[in-house]
Amino acid sequence: MTKNELAKIKASGRWPVKLSDFYRHYFFVVLPLGCAAVGAIELYSGFKFHHNDLKVPGTIQLIIFVILSILVVKRLYQNQVFEKHQVPDASVENIKHVLKSLGFQNVRHHKPGYFVCTTRGSWFSWGEEITIVFDDNDILINSRPNNQPITIQRDRKNIKIIMTALRSSEKAVA
């Protein structure tokens, strides 16, 4: 990550959007939207040509895939956004100790002022990349999947675990 990207993250609180994001992540919105479009066409044909046997399946398909599209877009957005937390005594050594004690892999601190570490894969996730950026007395933290478009709440769980450990380590030091 360059200093320019780091400044953009601090200013906007989210990852900058790159071309690779579209074919790695956003492409997965196309399938549920396409299925919703098929449901809408089916529903339209049912009303236009008075085919009652197309109205119910078209309505159900349209509702299911619109909801699925909304959920996918929401998860993709959450993967882009950094959560801001106040950690007054967040030092490099303290964060490194917490990350290693929680069992995260490849814990690396970079000079511009951020940490990167990864998690192990599981049945529902191929691993997460966790980024922690220092911003004055706050830290910006993001967890997003490595090589899959979305996960089912594992990234939120990682952030909660890290913040709980950081806050308990603060209390132990104080």
Nearest to 79 by CA among 145, 154, 126: 145
Here the tokens at position 59 are 């309505």
What residues have CB less than 8 Å from 25, skipping those under 6 apart?
Answer: 76, 79, 149, 150
User: With 80 as the cut, is the pLDDT of residue 26 above it?
Assistant: no
- The listed range with the strongest mean pLDDT (61-75, 110-124, 147-161) is 61-75
Q: Report if residue 116 sits inside a domain.
A: yes
Q: Report if residue 87 sits inside a domain.
A: yes
Comparing 34 with 145, the larger pLDDT belongs to: 34
For 157-167, the pLDDT digits (tens) are 899 999 999 88
Q: Do 100 and 54 share a structural domain?
A: no
For 65-111, the pLDDT digits (tens) are 999 999 988 888 888 899 999 887 778 888 899 999 999 999 999 98
**CB neighbours of residue 78 within 10 Å:** 17
Last residue in a domain, options 76, 106, 140: 76
Q: Report if residue 16 sits inside a domain.
A: no
